[in-house]
A and B are shown apart, each in its own frame.
Chain A
Amino acid sequence: MSIEIKMAWRNIWRNSRRSVLTILAIVFATMLLVFMLSFQFGSYDTMINTAVKIHTGHVQVQAEGYRDKMDIRLVVPDPDAVDDIIKDIPEVEAYTSRANAFSLVSSSDRTYGVLLTGIDPEREAKVSTLKKLVRRGKYLAQEDTDMALVGELLARNLKVDIGDELIVLGQGHDGSVAASVLKVKGIFSSGEDKFDRNSVQMPLGYFQDVFFMRGAVHEVVVLGRSLEDVKKIKKELGAGIRSIDSDGNLVVLDWMKLMPGIVQSIKLDLVSGLIMYVILIVVVAFSILNTFLMAVFERTREFGVLIAIGMTPGRLMRSLFLESVTITLIGIILGIISGSMVTWYFQVHGIVISGAAEILSQYGLPERMYPQLSVLSVSIGAGIVLIITILTAIYPVLKVRRLRPVEAMTAV
């Protein structure tokens, strides 16, 4: 152990009460940041995964412009060709095709306009949570034709129950009138009002017959093995699509393009969070600045003697800086440990924020939130604290440079 480290270490414990308080301040800040960042990242993960599972999947192939206009004529004409490409991408977990049409749906005494979606029951169950969301009745079977799954709120509005008939009226792919009668087979509830009030699902094959789709679909939905695989899937799929679609009518969209609201609200949350953390750390920094300052000023005489007997100011500064850095590092390490432990506890048990359940369900989130401890959340939190604290430590240390031995030794 070099002499500087030894000196720094002993100096820290000369006034142990002060050092402990300073370390505690740093522990508090680090712990809070590790927990809060893990909490934020955890909620983003849940948010993205839930939304991906209920709605969009990770990547979709659509006709150019379909996302904005939802025009029934903007189709993926040959989904099988797209499937052939997807089949060869190893990162793909599951994929399916869907077709949508805005239609009038009537029960015996009510009529509502809804988004009617044609799904491939077996493949859909692997891609989305729809099957699990069916609360009453049954999920669609592969051989079903004129059957439908209805959102809970819509079922209530339409006053229909399992087994009742629905009359569907809409516009087909070729512009002609499309009409059919469907039987309610199941009622689903996602907790997200907009979805539960506004959607009806039916088998894709029958949908294609009713709406004269001639085998075409609107979306080919791909679920990757994990969020990290999305980029690769998008790239490979994009390359494959270009080979079968020479006119450039088809586009490959990832979840960020499909749900820009989520991406932006995550950005918003992250930015506002970071601003708060920086303000918090600045307050902490000023709180501990006094400790660092005092460590220098109450030892003016001592420094005078040290310089007089031949210690270079540079070495002295190094030893002092080492002192502050050691305090900071002890604080940060303890903070990371305790913060990780707190986070880990809640990661296992979950957190229920009182009154927030209502808000969360509207974003399709479960009531219980789970923070997600990760290298990223720990290192960002600790990093911010480290940088600001070190900056704080530099100022008092620089003061030593201007020390004159004779004057310093006479100081009280």
Chain B
Amino acid sequence: MYLQMAWRNIWRNPRRTIVIMTAVIIGVWAMIFLGALMRGISDQMVRNGIMTLTGHVQVHHAGFRKDPVIENSIDKPEVVEAALSKILPRDARWTTRVRVDAIASNARHSGGVTLVGIDPEQEAGISFIRQAITEGTYLKAGDKYGIIVGEALADKFDTKLGRKLVLMSQDTNGDIASRAFRITGIFKAEMETTEKQFVFVTITAARKMLKLGNQISEVSILLADYKNADRVADDLRGVLPSVSYDVQTWQELLPFVTAVLKMYDWFIYLWFLVIFIAMGFGIVNTILMAVFERIREFGLLKALGMKPWWIVKEILTESFFLLILGMVAGNALGFLSVFALADTGIDLSALSEGMEFAGMSRVIYPVIAIKDIVAANLVVLILGLLVSAYPAIKAARFTPVKAMAHT
């Protein structure tokens, strides 16, 4: 009976109901859609970070992170490899790299880069580089002189495919090692800084240049599910003593991204609250109106023996219907707009330098996060009912005689 009464009551004044429902719909839509956009931005940041050579978990020499030089290489890669094959789940992939700061130069320019020696086959399944080649070819195992550079770097150096590039760095003896490479591939990355920073050669070529034996600078591990990163890292720490090895998850490796994620979390919930407050005033006002124009009716009901609590319940049910209808439509609209943009995304290339500055990629794809959807709907429903309690209690307090005399 309550349900029926409440339902009929909200349609006694359809225009009013539709107006306040529109407010709820737009509010819920704004929560879901803008939340999804922010999640999209932060997801992409994480993915970029992970794909740009980070992986989910990395193992280094204990001193490498503070001082990334060639002396701080892992001397016995076979120890790490044995640990990896024991601990990693079957569907995880990993690769070894040599990584060192170097100076690249050609006849006209020189600049600092990070030289990355990779195992072409293993690397292909782990980082972005295999898919990012736009010109020329990817490295082949054992290639001694091939080098892959970013588009932006090639531009800056006025160079192109097939030209020579000399790399200089410090070798294991502390001497300056230099080696000439030929550009066999050019890659394009999400971020221009990546294109400018990294150059790739085979791990064999890098070792030869730096006079390394079979040492490596880092192991990068990609798990099937990034949520397992902490557990895998803990397991690895159990086997690899922290005196000589440093095991880190992507959260520790990308502090900037982790900080941004935290701030976005905070920001999304703040946005939910702000939008709710904006709706809240409308909800209270509408229910108040609906209550006051029915004062006589409530007086009569009470005179007939309706308990005050029932009146509260009745009014809360009305507001519940209002909120639920608005939420259903708002959610539907939110999901629709997210799906509409799922393929094309929002292209902000026009502001690419600003995006780069803020650490974002050029195209934003909204991403729906279940916890945001739940949070948004809970905020609206619970707080919505809470603010409706004020008019509901007002209505329950009318004394029958006064109320019936009200005009």
Contacts and interface: CB of A to CB of B under 8 A. Distances in A.
Contacts of A289: 19, 23, 282
B351 A287 contact: no
Contact of A288 (B101, B275, B282, B289): B282
A351 interface: no
Contact of B260 (A264, A266, A359): A359
B353 A17 contact: no
B353 to A, nearest CB: 5
Given A261-B356, A287-B23, A293-B19, A355 B262 contact: yes
A353 B263 contact: yes
Interface string B291-333: 0110000000000000000000000000000000000000000
A104 B67 CA distance: 18
B93 interface: no
A252 B67 CA distance: 40
Interface in B146-192: 156, 168-170, 174, 176
Interface residues of A, number: 58
Contact of A356 (B108, B156, B263): B263
A5 interface: no
Contacts of A9: none
Contacts of A262: 354, 357
B353 A260 contact: yes
A109 interface: yes
Nearest to A280: B278
A263 B281 contact: no
A82 B44 CA distance: 46
A28 interface: yes
A291 B285 contact: yes
B43 to A, nearest CB: 17
B26 A286 contact: yes
Given A102-B110, A111-B170, A287 B279 contact: yes
A276 interface: yes
A286 B22 contact: yes
Tell me the interface secondary structure of chain B in the complex.
helix
B30 A21 contact: no
Contacts of B351: 264-265, 267-268
A32 interface: yes
Contact of B112 (A198, A283, A354, A358): A198
B281 A24 contact: yes
A286 B19 CA distance: 6
A248 interface: no
Interface string A239-265: 000000000000000000000111111
A21 to B, nearest CB: 5
Interface in B71-88: none
A353 B270 CA distance: 13
A215 to B, nearest CB: 24
B404 interface: no
Contacts of A261: 353-354, 356-357
B30 A280 contact: yes
B30 A283 contact: yes
Contacts of B281: 21-22, 24-25, 28, 284, 287-288
B286 interface: yes
B267 to A, nearest CB: 9
B279 A290 contact: no
A11 B108 CA distance: 79
Contacts of A112: 101, 112
A29 B256 contact: no
Given A109-B174, A112-B112, A113-B103, A32 B274 contact: yes
A168 to B, nearest CB: 13
Contacts of B284: 21
A263 B354 CA distance: 7
A238 B149 CA distance: 38
Contacts of A18: 285, 288-289
A305 to B, nearest CB: 16
Contact of B69 (A25, A110, A291): A110
B355 interface: yes
Contacts of A260: 353-354
A286 B279 CA distance: 8
A114 B279 contact: no
Contacts of A28: 277-278, 281
7 contacts: A111-B170, A112-B101, A113-B112, A156-B66, A276-B34, A280-B278, A294-B16
Interface of B: 15-16, 19-20, 22-23, 26-27, 30, 34, 66-69, 101-103, 108-112, 156, 168-170, 174, 176, 255-256, 259-260, 262-263, 266, 271, 274-275, 277-286, 288-289, 292-293, 348, 351-358
Interface of A: 15, 17-18, 21-22, 24-25, 28-29, 32, 68-69, 71, 102, 104, 109-114, 156-157, 171, 198, 260-269, 276, 279-280, 282-284, 286-291, 293-294, 298, 353-356, 358-359, 362-363
Name the 10 nearest CB pairs between A and B, nearest first: A287-B282, A264-B354, A286-B23, A261-B357, A25-B281, A265-B354, A113-B112, A113-B103, A358-B259, A265-B357
